[in-house]
Structure 1
Amino acid sequence: MKKLMVLLAVMLLIFPFTGCKRRLKVYTDGTISLTLPEGFEEKTDDENYEYVLTSNDAYVMCSHADQAFLDEHNISDITLDEFTGYFIKDEDKLLLDRSYGTYNVFSYEDQREEKSFYSMVGIYQTNDGFWLVNFICDNTEVKKYESMFLEWAGKVTFKD
């Protein structure tokens, strides 16, 4: 009995430090692939985005500016940093602005219909244009998601 009590005490001490990580899953539409925790669902009825994933408290919305779009707007020869600059409207509102070489990340808070959201945007340059991947959560969930969003942004891949 004493051994059982010691074993239970040790397990109770160790368990909080082991953590429970959710298993990861690769979500893809055939062109873009995102490695996220299991539990996201694809939303196929959103005309404004190429690919949308939702969970209980986080969203991932992907947009593609292809070569035809870039040509139409006379910006076909711009760099990743120049393209990113089009989306950074008010630098005072930026919470994060980083370049990782092959992609850029910035984040900000947004107010929509009396709700506050935290948004982290990854911008990626591919052979056929640029992709914007917007990771979104309620503003009250920033501490939970900020580091996860950064990790997820680093695991976005594209089919050439």
Structure 2
Amino acid sequence: NAVSRGFDPARCNLVKGPTVVNQLPNGYVQVAVEYLCAGDPYAPGPTFVLNRYHKSSDTQSNTWYHPNGYQLQGPLGSLYTYAAAGTTPLYLCQVRGDHFTSTDVNCEGQQYVTRLGWLYTTQPDGVATVPLLRCLRNENRQIFDSIQSNCEGQIRGGVLGYTLA
């Protein structure tokens, strides 16, 4: 998936697996592997759609790919593929099994995964944008992003920036 989204295969390293995920009746097995790619991928256009994905224990916002085992929940706006005036990078980070986005390249002291693109730091004049909010689920303290002002009835953590509408 990463190579198909523009990452250099020479900069992708196996980080997990192979792990058997299914034993088939014919004796064959299905295995899973996980790769981590470094560097910036080739960007085919000026913007990426930031989508939100969910599985039982994690919600992830991502521009690069549809993570295996996650259900698409919908778009959160678009990010620039380059630094534009008034923008800052948005990063995908991870703490334990929970993914979150941050404008801090150091991921607030947690594990850096990749840069997703650039979003506005303040709402610009003459550009249609929506606020990207950091939210927290009441029941399990899971971090997720939302463009709904009430964080979908969960705990509102603040505005990360503004995505293109």
More strand by share: 2
Q: TM-score, normalised by structure 1?
A: 0.21
Q: TM-score, normalised by structure 2?
A: 0.21
More helix by share: 1
